[in-house]
Structure 1
Amino acid sequence: MGDYNGGKVHKVFVNKIEKSSFRMRPDVMAAFQKMIEAYDKDRKGKSNEHIFVRSGFRSYADQKYIWETKFTGKRKMRESVEGKKPEEIVSLILQYSSAPGTSRHHWGTDIDINSFDNTYFEKGGKGEFLYSWLQENASKFGFCQPYNEYSKRGEKGYYLERWHWSYKPVSSKLEKEWQKAYQSKKIIIKGKFMGSNTMSDDLPLTYVTSVNTDCKE
């Protein structure tokens, strides 16, 4: 569940204006397109911001590349990795990025939209109306925000991500399947990528399962 390339199981979603393309499950894309249509009707005269995808399905190799470029400092984060111990770098990365093999983006059910900056979606931000609309309407199309306020998840898992939305009818089931596979050692994390040997056995499980209760079955 993660160490694969997606193959033919995903369809390609193309952003209408940006023309960039991303893969996702066919059922996810169908629901997402319906949600976009509903939002576009409701935003007329209220917001110029349309919904567009910034990230969809990611293969294990994709996630490993993101992880290791952050681990080595090639990809900038909110803090520099210089002078930090491996376990400190791991903790820093895990604020917003998943370890390879643990990302919900491996499942083809999760989408990042519009901006990776939470302030974009806050009051006064360009995406204020969009985020308010999603909070009220996304569930009608099967979508939920897995990483809501950190405090509401017992301060476990990733930090707040207002841009990340998940297709609950499928992802809630895949989360349970991932948990079973990991606990039965069908998914191996340690020794697979930089810094993985510093992780406790419970850490990947905590990050995968510490999501908004609205995203649970």
Structure 2
Amino acid sequence: MHPADWRLINGESLEAIPAALARARGNATARALAQADWLIRRKRDGRFLAVRRGDVVAELQRGVLTPALRDDLFALAAADAAGESPRDLSGLLQRLHALDLDERDYGERSGLPLVAEPSSLAFAGRDRYARPLWLTAAAAHAWKKMRAAAGSDGIVLDAISGYRSHDYQLGIFRRKLARGQTVAEILAVNAAPGFSEHHSGRALDIGTPGEAPAEESFEKTPAFSWLQVHAGDFGFVMSYPRGNPHGIVYEPWHWYHAPS
């Protein structure tokens, strides 16, 4: 697969990424990935389940693809065909209700909208930690152009994180609930699953070398000064300035690509 075609295909419980981007876990997995086009993994924990080459799917462990997961596997083809179309939110709502979290009440109190995941995301390079960075095609293009423009001005921008799934945020909640925290306590510091701009594939946490990630001190860097002047030229806006109406702490590192 050519790097220009690299994308993340986003299903309900499974996702597929180019096998060339996966980090092998053991020699057998490395051999399987080397001969495959796609890696299929479970979203809630990142477990590698299968590889695909052409129309052939091979399990990485016998029996790992249950009948339910096989149904989800077939659904990945539909997700790929849908491109960046928003995914259905019904599965997320069921899981929010299982956590006793009322999305309507939370949305009214926070002023934040419920955010659907795209069915497909574009490869936007790698983040600070060498992980694949996934964004919508438009946001990926704008990020690459903005980063290059900053570089021409002697400013180095790096991505801390981009797209994050509903499952990622749900995992944070489940781990904190398991440690004895209440939903109210968790919501004081974490957005409810489904309400983060990162789910959209249009949000980026941006940093610069030598500066700790996601810290207010980022506002004192030349990188932040450059973004204040130039980010709008590439369609990026800072989502959470001081005193924002959502009650979210000031986040000078968090920028959103507003669709034109």
Alpha-carbon offset, residue 118 of structure 1: 1.3
| Letter of the 1:118 counterpart | E
| Structure 2 residue 130 is the aligned partner of structure 1 residue 58 | no
| Higher strand proportion (structure 1 or 2) | 2
CA distance 1:163–1:88, shift in 2 (3 Å): same
- Hey, what does 1:89 align to over in structure 2? 185
In 2, the alpha carbon distance for the partners of 1:58 and 1:101 equals 10
User: In the superposition, relative to structure 1, how do residues 5 and 102 fare at CA in structure 2: closer, same or farther (>3 Å)?
Assistant: closer
Letter in 2 for 1:26: A
Does 1:165 pair with 2:255? Answer: yes
Q: Following TM superposition, by how much is the alpha carbon of 1:14 offset from its aligned partner in structure 2, in angstroms?
A: 2.1
SS at match of 1:23: strand
Q: TM-score, normalised by structure 1?
A: 0.58
Q: Give TM-score, length-normalised by structure 2.
A: 0.49
Q: What are structure 1's unaligned runs of at least 5 residues?
A: 74-81, 171-217
3-state DSSP of counterpart to 1:33: helix
| 1:70, distance to aligned residue in structure 2 (A) | 3.8
Classify 1:32/1:6 alpha carbon distance in 2 versus 1 (closer, same or farther; 3 Å).
same
Deviation at 1:61, TM superposition (A): 0.6
Q: Secondary structure, in 3 states, of the residue corresponding to 2:188?
A: helix
The alignment yields a C-alpha RMSD, in angstroms, of 2.4
Residue 134 of structure 2 is aligned to residue 23 of structure 1: yes
Task: Give the match for residue 32 of structure 1.
Answer: 143
Rounded to whole Å, the distance in 1 between the matches of 2:161 and 2:128 is: 15
Change (3 A) 1:162 1:16: closer
| Distance of 1:19 and 1:129 partners within structure 2 | 23
Name the amino acid aligned to 1:62: Y
Deviation (angstroms), 1:133: 0.4
1:10 corresponds to which of 121, 124, 137: 121
| CA contact 2:240–2:248 (8 Å) conserved in 1 | yes
1:132 counterpart = 2:228: no
- Equivalences for 1:154-193 in 2 at 5 Å? 154=245, 156-169=246-259
Partner of 2:216: 118
Is contact 2:158–2:206 with CA below 8 Å preserved after alignment?
yes
Equivalenced residue count is 143
Fraction of identical pairs, as percent? 27
Separation (CA, whole Å) in 2 of partners of 1:59 and 1:90: 18
The letter of the residue matching 1:52 is D
Please state how far the C-alpha of 1:30 moved relative to its aligned partner: 0.3
Question: Does the 8 Å CA contact 1:71/1:89 hold for their aligned counterparts?
Answer: no
Say which structure is richer in helix.
Answer: 1
Task: Measure, in 1, the Cα distance between the counterparts of 2:203 and 2:128.
Answer: 21
Equivalent residue letter for 1:35? M
Q: Name which structure has the greater RCO, CA cutoff 8 Å, separation 6+.
A: 1
